[in-house]
């Protein structure tokens, strides 16, 4: 499955905000917490490497890899593509000898492999939200290479918002916003029956948001 950038991509925060407000209400999340985490991330970022990431993605065929159980069976889809990993999928790719061009992560799947990938040039697209401030404080100072900061609240300064909610759909909207020629998906599984009710709601939102960009999952 793939999509080109179109008018439904969240090119402005005002396009994304109505969905964000519905997500906050649906999941009883706190916008003030998101905003505080974003301010913290801004203080921790050594640099803004968005330009580096744009050069890697613009005009290229991109595959966004999710961390679903189907990832291993779909790795043959990524040949010749720029690979963007959603959080823990980066660890599985790393184990297969594949270094993603970027990892989109809220750091709950971060391992000791992340700083090594970053040192080798993988861009860490680190997301701040209300309940990952401790992870931000721990991991961000360990990244010696290119880093981009994101928020699901209003962007500012070096903190960006390309739309999306889970690591996977945020990675897709990032690639579309940075003018990828096409964006294919691998390892996306939005019907996992083993997840808890909160995770199930998150996956439903991922399906809804990706549907806006033309993905039928």
Residue 5 has pLDDT above 70, yes or no: no
β pairing state of 61-65 and 82-86: parallel
Q: Where are the domains of the chain?
A: 2-212
Per-residue pLDDT tens digits for 103-118: 999 999 999 999 999 9
Residue 1 has pLDDT above 60, yes or no: no
Residue 203 has pLDDT above 90, yes or no: yes
Average pLDDT of the segment spanning 15-42: 97
Alpha-carbon distance values, 202 to 35, 66, 148, 207 (Å): 20, 14, 23, 9
The confidence score (pLDDT) of residue 3 equals 61
pTM exceeds 0.75 for this model: yes
Task: Tell me if 131 sits within 8 A of 27, measured CB to CB.
Answer: no
Average pLDDT taken over every residue of the chain: 94
Query: What is the C-alpha separation between 147 and 23, in angstroms, rounded?
Result: 26
Average pLDDT of the segment spanning 124-138: 97
The confidence score (pLDDT) of residue 194 equals 79
Q: Coil, strand, or helix at residue 125?
A: strand
Share of residues in the chain with pLDDT > 90 (%): 85
Average pLDDT of the segment spanning 15-19: 96
């Amino acid at each position: 499955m793939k999509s080109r950038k179109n008018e439904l991509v969240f090119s402005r925060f005002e396009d994304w905000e109505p969905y964000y407000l519905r997500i906050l209400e649906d999941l009883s999340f706190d916008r003030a917490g998101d905003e505080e985490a974003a301010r913290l991330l801004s203080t921790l970022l050594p640099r803004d490497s968005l330009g580096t990431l744009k050069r890697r993605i613009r005009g290229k065929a991109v595959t966004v890899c999710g961390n679903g159980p189907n990832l291993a069976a779909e790795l043959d889809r990524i040949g010749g593509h720029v690979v963007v990993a959603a959080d823990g999928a980066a660890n599985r790719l790393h184990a297969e000898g594949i270094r993603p061009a970027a990892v989109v992560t809220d750091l709950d799947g971060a391992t000791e492999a992340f700083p090594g990938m970053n040192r080798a040039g993988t861009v860490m697209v680190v997301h701040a939200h209300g309940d990952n401030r401790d992870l931000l404080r721990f991991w961000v100072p360990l990244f010696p290479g290119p880093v981009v900061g994101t928020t699901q609240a209003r962007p500012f300064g070096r903190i960006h918002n390309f739309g999306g909610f889970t690591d996977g759909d945020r990675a897709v909207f990032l690639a579309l916003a940075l003018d990828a020629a096409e964006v294919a998906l691998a390892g996306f599984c939005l019907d996992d029956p083993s997840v808890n009710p909160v995770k199930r709601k998150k996956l439903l939102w991922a399906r809804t948001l990706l549907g806006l960009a033309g993905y039928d999952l």
